[in-house]
Amino acid sequence: MTIDEAVSCITSATAGKTNKSTPIADELIANLCDALWNAAEYPQIQLLREHLPFFHERALIPGFHAWRKARGLHLHYPRWANPFIGGPKALAALVSADIAAAPLTFFDPVNDGRWVPPHPKVVAYLASISNQSLRDAMALYALIKSSLGEHPLYCRLSSYAVPLRKLMEENELSSVHDIDPDDLLLRVSERTAGSTLTLNQHSAIVLGWNTLANAFLEYGECLSESQRQTMSRFFLRPLQNATACTAAGHRLWLAIPPGEASRPRQTWCTLSSTNSGSWRKFAATRRRGCIRLWRAPPKP
């Protein structure tokens, strides 16, 4: 049943009723929720009201919660709990055909269970990346590193994808593979590029590019020649000048705004001068307490 058909059934069953708060039959609401679920939507009360604007929220709540409990979903279940949003088939529909059959990953036709798919949370995040080249690169990285688990892999992807997207928009690049890391990373570290990046994003992209590019190189070394030729177009360009990369990283961390370098020392000196007596008294009190506990006889 499609979404429009489910809405039509509800409209027909409630025709002639003027009380818009009367609960709708659980079965009718369940049919609509199932149609939304199968259409890779995120069934919630607000979404149901968008499709049934005439009815009050009280008419939808009983049927929605009955459907949610029947599927074993938590009250605040995440969007990626829907396999049509966070499942392997959803990931295959997001990426290029070559990645959807990438060797030595979950999509390998001869996969015998050695390679696991990325976590649904990761798949849902990849779906939010609008640029196809960036999405393909991050999806391939997620497939290669899927064994890292949900949180480490999600944090890595977000720390790479966000600054890359901002740099592409700033430099008007249509593909992530057009980035010249030897030039761009130096300009980012010198603050002549990446004006929209935060300090953490500056460090993540400058210091993490090698990690990202080397993951693709290591993956390519495990492939056959024909497989490497097919998959290499999704790899990020590696750094050609490692010395320049190291210098860029050092310049990034040393680029402290004027007056900031002395602030920690000034703060510590102020604390030491104003609270030194209190700190010494506190330390002495704790020391005496520890000595008493150490010397106390054991309990019988």
Q: What is the pLDDT along the chain (300 residues), one digit of tens a residue?
A: 899 999 999 988 888 777 888 889 999 999 999 999 999 999 999 999 999 998 999 999 999 999 999 999 988 899 999 999 999 999 999 999 999 999 999 999 999 888 999 999 999 999 999 999 999 999 999 999 998 888 999 999 999 999 999 999 999 999 999 988 888 888 887 778 888 888 888 888 888 888 899 999 999 999 999 999 999 999 998 887 656 555 555 554 444 444 444 444 444 454 445 555 676 777 778 777 777 776 777 655
Q: What is the Cα–Cα distance from 142 to 134, expressed in whole angstroms?
A: 12
The confidence score (pLDDT) of residue 255 equals 47
Residue with tokens 């899927």: 146
Q: What letter does residue 235 receive in the DSSP assignment?
A: S
Q: Collapsing DSSP states into helix, strand and coil, what is residue 214?
A: helix
**CA dist., res. 13 & res. 219, Å (int):** 57
User: What is the pLDDT at residue 242?
Assistant: 56
Measured torsion, CA atoms of residues 217, 158, 136, 241, in degrees rounded to the nearest 10: -30
- Determine contact, residues 138/160, Cβ cutoff 8 Å: yes
DSSP code string of 134-154: HHHHHHHHHHHTGGG-HHHHH
User: What are the sequence ranges of the domains in the chain?
Assistant: 3-77, 95-254
* Three-state DSSP state, 32: helix
> Which pLDDT does position 265 carry in this prediction?
44
Which tokens belong to 44? 């919630």
**Cα distance between the two ends of the chain:** 74
Residue 69: count other Cβ atoms within 10 Å of its Cβ.
11
**Count of residues in the chain:** 300
For 45-188, strand residue ranges (E) read: none
DSSP E strands, 179-262: none
Query: Helices (H) and strands (E) in the chain — how many of each?
Result: 14, 0
Identify the pLDDT of residue 243. 61
